[in-house]
Amino acid sequence: MSVDGSTLHNGLIFAIAGLETVTPTTPRTYRLLPALAITVLVGSGAPCPWTFGITESGTITYDAGLGFLAGAGTDTLVVGGHDVTIDARAISHVVHGLEFTMTVRGSSIVRRLTPASYQLLAGSGNVADFHFTVGLDGRVTIPARYAEFSRVNGPLLILLGLEVTIRNDGLSQRLLEPDAGTWLADGESQTFRMIPAPYFGLLGGSGIVGDFSYRVGLDGLISYPADCEPFLTGAGTSTLGVGGYLVLVDARAMDGDLLGLPNANITAQTTDFLVATLMPSGYEPQSSNGVFGSSFRLHRDGSLSVRDLSGGRMSVATVAAVRIVGPSPF
């Protein structure tokens, strides 16, 4: 028998045939024993709410009410689906499909999906705490717990998102939500509409990925690992404050002048010293001779480590600081 899913945007898996995936560009032909009910899965392994059979003569059978299937009485099963509109106009970040091909941000898109349950990605690799189901009749349904940030109407799924604010709390570097943000300097904030997911991240410069992630819950409240508490604030609220640690880079023994941390857009205060408040990540200093082949990493607990690639030596140290806020004296 052959399987044709060329009109779909989702892949199909036939567990009985060794978990091979049928996609619009990779139709499959199988040699199968007769069976009354063969289960079909979508890409994540979720079973579809329909089955098909193979007679002893090798022809396809299925319930006559499954109007999205074709090929009954032949040796080719044509798997179709229903056109589903996904409206992500309110969402700030990129939304991808997990079991189906989709990339959308700030717009709507129509996908043809076979009846099954599907998941979304909130950005790259961040599986959202959300799923929707396409019924046999093409109607989209969602669990009641998602009503705060999504709506359905027949074949239409509307993603509303939840408001989350990101604030730069004292960093010398600027801060960026990678999918939808603008660069935030110290004291600046930006509000986004996000779908709940466990692993959102932030950038602290070109190629500088923060060594932490935060979760946006179904209630719109933020959480993060306990070891991030020294530099993050806002757990249990909808506002994430991102701070860091004060770091001293000592270049007195270096040949050449210390220029700064170029990827973080931070300039050294003198030719020998740089003092900056940084979020946990990796950094490469620059001298008048060029960018270092070595780098240092600031860890979540404020400690530092050095990665030497050039055989030279790098001296780095954290320094204690007192930050005075409010009118003085007090």
Confidence at 324, pLDDT banded by 50, 70, 90: low
- Which residue in 133, 118, 159, 109 sits closest to 10, CA to CA? 118
Q: End-to-end CA distance of the chain, in Å?
A: 83
Confidence at 112, pLDDT banded by 50, 70, 90: very high
- The structure's pTM equals 0.86
Across the chain, mean pLDDT equals 88
The pLDDT tens digits for 131-162 are: 999 999 999 999 999 999 999 999 999 999 99
Q: What is the DSSP string of 211-268?
A: S--EEE-TTS-EE--GGGTTTEE-TTSSEEEE--EEEEEE-TTSSS-EEEEGGGTEE-
Q: CA-CA distance, 280 to 247, in Å (whole number)?
A: 11
For CA atoms 136, 138, 142, 144, give the dihedral sign.
Answer: negative
Cβ neighbours of residue 160 closer than 8 Å, sequence gap 6 or more: 90, 149, 150, 151, 193
DSSP 3-state of 119: strand
For CA atoms 153, 154, 156, 159, give the dihedral sign.
Answer: positive
Residue 165 · residue 239 · CB < 8 Å: yes
